[in-house]
Amino acid sequence: MELDLLVQRFQEKDRRAFEKLYEMYHVNIHGVIHTIVRDRELAEELAQDVFIKIWNNAASYNSSKGRFFTWILNIARNTAIDELRSRNYKNLKKNLSADYFVGILERADSEDTETPDTKGLKKLVNGLKEKCIELLELLYFKGFTQKDASEELKIPLGTVKTRNRNCISKLRDNIDLEWI
């Protein structure tokens, strides 16, 4: 079957056409992803995600903008890069927590030599409720998503969103008061 016809049928959500395209491109897509992520199992998982994405976004393919294989390849490449960025971000933020800042404040207390930074940080942190400190630590220092924070704290997602907005607002108010 001609590729153009196969792609057209795929865009019309023909499962057989999709299966044929999967057979044609799966090995190549897996290889490209594996080259980027360097993990065979993760590459397989991401390749599956790529084919789900192309199925869900079939209508967005436009042959006048490039070849079908190039379109799939770009989706695969971006998916792999997004995964690496996500993992790197989480690893980078994993060990950074509010304890680091609390440590700065405690050292400042014990050394009798507070710097302007530690004085300001102490005022800002002392002005927040424990719930705010806990939530902000998860969201901004440990790299949790709002959904992850909701699950970790065992509170509804809507509560996390509202609390985050309120905590940030309180932090802004504290900063504004500090600069007045």
pLDDT tens digits, one per residue of 129-152: 889 888 888 887 777 889 989 999
**Using 50, 70 and 90 to split pLDDT, how confident is the model at 173?**
confident
98-179: CATH topology is Arc Repressor Mutant, subunit A (1.10.10)
pLDDT at 1: 62
- Tell me the average pLDDT across 61-82: 92
Q: From 106, 166, 95, 104, select the one nearest 136 (Cα to Cα).
A: 166
- Location of structure tokens 């932090």: 171
CATH code for the domain defined by 3-94: 1.10.1740.10
pLDDT at 12: 95
- Tell me the average pLDDT across 61-76: 93
Q: What is the pTM of this model?
A: 0.51
Q: Kindly report the number of other CB atoms within 10 A of residue 55's CB atom.
A: 14
Per-domain boundaries in the chain: 3-94, 98-179
Distance between CA atoms of residues 108 and 17, nearest Å? 67
